[in-house]
Chains A and B, each alone.
Chain A
Amino acid sequence: MGRKFDPTNNVKRGPGRKSRKQQGAENELAKFITDEDTEQKRLSSRGRKRAAKRVQKVKKPEDAAEEKNKTVFTDENSKWLKPATRKRKLDAAESEDSSDEHWEDEEDEEEEEKVEQQQQVKKGGKDKGKKAAKSKIKPVAEEVKDAEDDEAEDDADGAEDDDDDEEMVDDYGTLDDVSGDAAEEESDGDEELLPIERAAKKAKKLKEILDLDSDEDDDDEEDDDKDGEKDEKSDEEDTVQANMDEMDQFRLPGAEESEKEGVLMCVDLKEIHQRIKDNIEVLCNFSTRREEGKDRAEYIALLKKDLCTYYSYNDFLIEKLIDLFPLSELVDFLEANEIHRPVTIRTNTLKTRRRDLAQALINRGVNLDPLGKWSKVGLVIYDSSVPVGATPEYLAGQYMLQGASSFLPVMALSPQEGELVLDMSSAPGGKTTYIAQLMRNTGVIVANDANADRLKSVVGNIHRLGVTNTVVCNYDGRRFPKVMGGFDRVLLDAPCSGTGVIAKDPVVKTSKDEADIQRSAHLQKELILAAIDSVNAGSASGGYLVYCTCSIMVEENEWVVDYALKKRNVKLVSTGLDFGKEGFTRFRERRFHPTLKLTRRFYPHSHNMDGFFVAKLKKFSKCYSIRVRRERRG
């Protein structure tokens, strides 16, 4: 604010904004920074803790003498006090205690210095005790030396504290503690090692111990701690045994085991992942790999439970997905949902060409590639040094940020110049502007959406991309045939449960249930009928409807289209997309019209785009289908 620009002082321009110095900052800074500040730095919170620990180490013998009941693990009380199983927590508590004491101590000392005479009367006894303790410390030179080493050790402790989940997930938690003593002894030796190296060393040691374990029941371990660890030990043996089993044949865990797992809640995700893999392997060739006396349902039940835990889905959705995918694909699909799809943009051919745009963006430090053979306007962005949604090119409307999957319905619709097109649920306007660009701004597009707030982005995008042939309105799509009809083409991107875009919105994993699917399926059926009624069957060039959703549920896709086939005079035609999987013609107990194989499904794991469904219908007569007429007469 108060800083003035000094034209005489030419500041060097560095490579980046961060490295560039603020003009005149050094002059300003000099005013604020006094010698006192630079002299002594206030300790950080960790530093303070370390200091507290140092003091505590010095104080330890006195402590042990004074308060025997305190649960501090020293050599003196090692006989009755065992290393705690929950080591970390205790540590934390300890350090807190010690820090408190430390502060008290300091205060005490200060007071001593100031008003010694007065204080002596009040707490003479206590002070005497303390002084005695202090004198006691001096001979214990080793302890003091330890305190010198403390910092390195503390660092190690800190590292352990930081990755606490590592500790929680540890397979052999009890063993870890057993070897803890040894590790601590070692820690002096490998001060130079990084935490990760230390961890590796520890793991190596564990492995050795484990090997001993499996060969011959370990003797050295038992010597160390016979008391109180027996039950834990048996547990750990169990897990080892289970691991051995997994090597040759996957064994279903018994009911009581799974129950225990449910109660304990300390499940190991790695183990579950392995179990899922083995389970699927067994299920894929069930007759040869199965365990005698166990039927498929048991395996499936376990798989379902494991998938729910590992990928955190709700039971309902996992069940649906198991029905939908072959088991070999299921895990691929779930894994694909954990990673994001690549960012894709669509060139606005109304304003620029793809080659020019690509060049302009590369000059801005964007790493990109053409999307694929099937699209002439798409670009994939791998990484970018600038925000792709705010470059001058973006603001000038040269491209639109749009998922690869939302190119497809517009390509299937293939709008022609001069047509009248309806986009029934248009927000945020990506598909609408693509339609306009395919029509080269001729004809008319009616962009509708039920949500007035989301229409703002439609208006913004339409104007930004220079689309001039649109009417934006805010109707409920179901009422649309009454507003206006006679469209050459209609695009219905129906609202859906979003099970195809879990990568984008992970809430879907747990928030959906049967009722949600039914509800959206019902709305979709109403919308598809309204959309069909808005199409002009007699149109010379068109008469088409494209129905698409970002859901992969059969209820929201094939079933809805099948319903429309029954209710109206429409037929399915080829989408014109040469990739994607065919739609289902039969699914569990349901049988759909055989032409449903003309619809297309897209999956995140096989096409690296959001899960999507596209169907293209042609309306061939204005009348209702024969069946509907019969129903109405009857």
Chain B
Amino acid sequence: MRPLTDEETKTMFEKLSKYIGENIKLLVDRPDGSYCFRLHNDRVYYMSEKILKLATNISRDKLVSVGTCFGKFTKTSKFRLHITALDYLAPYAKFKVWVKPGAEQSFLYGNHVLKSGLGRITENTVQYQGVVVYSMADVPLGFGVAAKSTQECRRVDPMSIVVFHQTDVGEFIRNEDTLT
């Protein structure tokens, strides 16, 4: 486990800012103690200093996970967000998409969101903006990328894709092995 290098920090923050914008600083400077990002087995974990100190007791090969996993660096040193980061992304998300109850299941199986399943969408969403997907009951389901801007969404036919699927909470079951 080690702190992130400057480059890694930059890559990761760039990615995060697609979803939560300038709210990143709320993640780093928290009123309830200092929190930090640490890299372990190519994965980025977010934890409080208190947990970090305790985790140093555990040798590297025996440590499986600390705090919350945000995502992982690929072999080409890109950063990929995991569904496990949803708990931190959802409250700070700038752009949100709500899906209708009928389309909920389809999204949770890894499909894109179609216009017919679109319940609500944040105003002024631009194309290719990172969005967090919610159910109509305001339960965060995952995140993706807006395929169309809000204006376009009004016009397109019901079978066209409006949000590209990136991750959804169904992955807790589907890819349990690769979460860590």
Give A contacts to B, CB under 8 Å: 5, 360, 389-390, 392-393, 395-398, 420, 444, 446, 452, 455-460, 462-464, 466, 468-475, 483-484
Contacts and interface: CB of A to CB of B under 8 A. Distances in A.
A452 B54 CA distance: 20
B62 interface: yes
Contacts of B104: 392
A392 B64 contact: no
A468 B67 contact: yes
B42 to A, nearest CB: 15
Contact of B176 (A420, A457, A484): A457
A362 to B, nearest CB: 14
Contacts of B36: none
B12 interface: no
A466 B177 CA distance: 18
Contacts of B179: 456, 459-460, 463
Interface string B122-145: 000000000000010101110000
A456 B173 CA distance: 11
11 contacts: A444-B50, A456-B177, A468-B47, A468-B87, A471-B54, A471-B55, A471-B67, A473-B62, A474-B62, A474-B63, A484-B57
Nearest to B67: A468
Contact of A444 (B51, B69, B139, B159): B51
Interface in B20-63: 47-48, 50-51, 54-55, 57-58, 62-63
B66 A395 contact: no
Contact of A473 (B51, B63, B177): B63
B139 A473 contact: no
B65 interface: yes
Contact of A471 (B51, B108, B137): B51
A424 to B, nearest CB: 14
A390 B179 CA distance: 18
Nearest to B35: A468
Contact of B172 (A393, A463, A472, A473): A463
A460 B172 contact: yes
A295 to B, nearest CB: 58
B64 A459 contact: yes
A471 B139 contact: no
Contacts of A5: 159
B54 A484 contact: yes
A463 B43 CA distance: 14
Contacts of B140: 396
B107 to A, nearest CB: 9
Interface in B62-89: 62-69, 83-84, 87
Contacts of A458: 64
Nearest to A485: B57
The 10 closest A-B pairs by CB, nearest first: A395-B169, A463-B84, A472-B64, A484-B57, A472-B65, A460-B176, A464-B172, A459-B180, A396-B139, A466-B87
Task: Decide if the interface of chain B is mainly helix, strand, loop or mixed.
Answer: mixed
Given A444-B51, A456-B180, A464 B169 contact: yes
A470 B64 CA distance: 11
A452 B139 CA distance: 31
B169 A473 contact: no
* Best-buried of B65, B68, B172 by chain A (most CB within 10 Å): B65
Nearest to A475: B62
Interface of B: 47-48, 50-51, 54-55, 57-58, 62-69, 83-84, 87, 104-105, 108, 135, 137, 139-141, 159, 168-170, 172-173, 176-177, 179-180
Contact of A484 (B58, B68, B135, B169): B58
A452 B41 CA distance: 15
Contacts of A484: 54, 57-58
A397 B47 CA distance: 20
Nearest to B180: A459
A390 B62 contact: no
Nearest to A418: B50
Nearest to A356: B137
A367 to B, nearest CB: 20
Nearest to A446: B54
A505 B145 CA distance: 45
Nearest to B177: A456
B69 A463 contact: yes
A471 B66 contact: yes
Contacts of A470: 65-67
A395 B170 contact: yes
Nearest to A386: B105
A474 B68 CA distance: 17
A386 to B, nearest CB: 10
A614 B90 CA distance: 39
Given A452-B64, A456-B179, A475-B62, A469 B172 contact: no
A37 to B, nearest CB: 35
A360 B58 CA distance: 41
Contact of A392 (B57, B66, B69, B139): B139
Contacts of B173: 389-390, 395
Contacts of B105: 392
Given A460-B176, A463-B68, A396 B169 contact: yes
B67 A483 contact: no
A484 B57 CA distance: 6
Nearest to A461: B172
Nearest to B85: A463
Contacts of A464: 169, 172
Contacts of A475: 58, 62
A464 to B, nearest CB: 5
Contacts of A460: 172, 176, 179
A455 B64 contact: yes
Nearest to B168: A395
Given A396-B139, A452-B64, A472-B66, 6 more contacts: A392-B169, A395-B108, A396-B141, A471-B67, A483-B62, A484-B58
Contacts of A469: 48, 51, 67
Nearest to B50: A444
Contacts of B84: 463
A475 B62 CA distance: 6
* Best-buried of B64, B87, B137 by chain A (most CB within 10 Å): B64
A455 B176 CA distance: 10
